[in-house]
Copies of this chain bind each other. A is one copy, B any other.
Amino acid sequence: MSNVKAASNISSPTQFLETKKGKYAYRRFGNGPGLPLLFLQHFTGTLDNWDPAVTDPLATGREVILFESAGLGRSSGKVPETVAGMAEHALAFLDGLGLKTCDVLGFSLGGMVAQQMIVDRPSIFRRLILVATAPRGGDDIMHLEKPSLAKYLQDPKLQGYAVLQKIFFAPTPSSQSAGEAFIGRLLRRKDDREPVSGPEVAQAQMAAFREWDRITGERFAVLKGIRQPTLVVNGVHDEMIAVRNSYWLSESLPNAVLLTYPDSGHGSLFQFHESFTRHAAAFLSSDSPFAPY
């Protein structure tokens, strides 16, 4: 397999790293002048949930590193019940790779982990992309019991990826069609796939969401200390993590640009993958101390 062919989440082999905190599965591919870009994944998602239409174009300008946190896929250990616990695993992983700093793309739960990591260790990231996520103390975060989500999650006719298509995309023909294409791309990887997450993963991650949405101290004050350039992205019809959480992020982070997409929900980065990767690459390629790109 040529290097070029391997620079894809369809074909890049899963690798493993042993650390004091356990064994982590990951994929690392691509090259270019940019700092490596760490991908931090959403609720119950494994390495196989990263859309190659998002990872692969970004891998043409830098290495991308997809991280499988503890208790997911073929990584060892248990899923922590706090975002802080997840951040410890991601930091141990970067330490194990010998990376002192990198860029990050945190999606949903992964965006919370990215925020916690930079609070715990401010030098860890140069630039942050926070997609469809929320600040600590945000609200309308992953309430799977609300009718707009429960009607899909509790529908016995919907299983696996069919649920994902419903809850990651808006209920319009155009967004659902983009969702179908997204699922098709996830299925293009045939071999070396990760085990699908079970209910114990979901349960621990839900506990982490409930801990994260508690307001502690002055609301959103912690964001004011994050000086790094940040790009905040969301679909305006996100039912899983309401878009107002992205408004709060971009209003409270001192150095953040916000980009929202129409006709889309939680998975706007997959629906508009050409636009998203163009914006993300332009943002990451900037050497400015300011977020606007």
- A272 at interface by CB-CB < 8 Å: yes
A222 and B255 alpha carbons, distance in the complex (Å): 34
A27 and B293 alpha carbons, distance in the complex (Å): 29
In angstroms, how far is the closest chain B Cβ from the Cβ of A269? 11
Taken residue by residue from 258 to 293, chain A's Cβ proximity to chain B (1 for < 8 Å, 0 otherwise) reads as 111111000000001011001000000000001111
- A247 at interface by CB-CB < 8 Å: yes
- A86 at interface by CB-CB < 8 Å: no
- Residue ID in chain B nearest A276 by CB atoms: B292
Which residues from 232 to 250 on chain A have a C-beta closer than 8 Å to any C-beta of chain B? 236, 243-244, 247, 250
Give the copy number.
2
A262 and B278 alpha carbons, distance in the complex (Å): 21
Taken residue by residue from 53 to 87, chain A's Cβ proximity to chain B (1 for < 8 Å, 0 otherwise) reads as 00000000000000000000000000000000000
A259 touching B259 in the complex, CB below 8 Å, given contacts A247-B247, A292-B272: yes
- Residue ID in chain B nearest A247 by CB atoms: B247
- A251 at interface by CB-CB < 8 Å: yes
- Residue ID in chain B nearest A251 by CB atoms: B236
B254→A243 contact, CB < 8 A: no
Q: Which of B255, B261, B262 contacts A262 (CB 8 A)?
A: B255
- A257 at interface by CB-CB < 8 Å: yes
Residues of B contacting A257 in the complex (Cβ-Cβ under 8 angstroms): 259-262
- A208 at interface by CB-CB < 8 Å: no
- A253 at interface by CB-CB < 8 Å: yes
- A256 at interface by CB-CB < 8 Å: yes
Q: Which of B262, B272, B290 contacts A250 (CB 8 A)?
A: B262
Residues of A within 8 A of B (CB): 236, 243-244, 247, 250-251, 253-263, 272, 274-275, 278, 290-293
18 examples of A-B residue contacts, CB within 8 angstroms: A236-B258, A247-B247, A250-B262, A254-B262, A254-B263, A255-B262, A255-B263, A256-B262, A257-B259, A257-B260, A257-B261, A257-B262, A259-B259, A261-B292, A262-B291, A272-B290, A272-B292, A278-B293
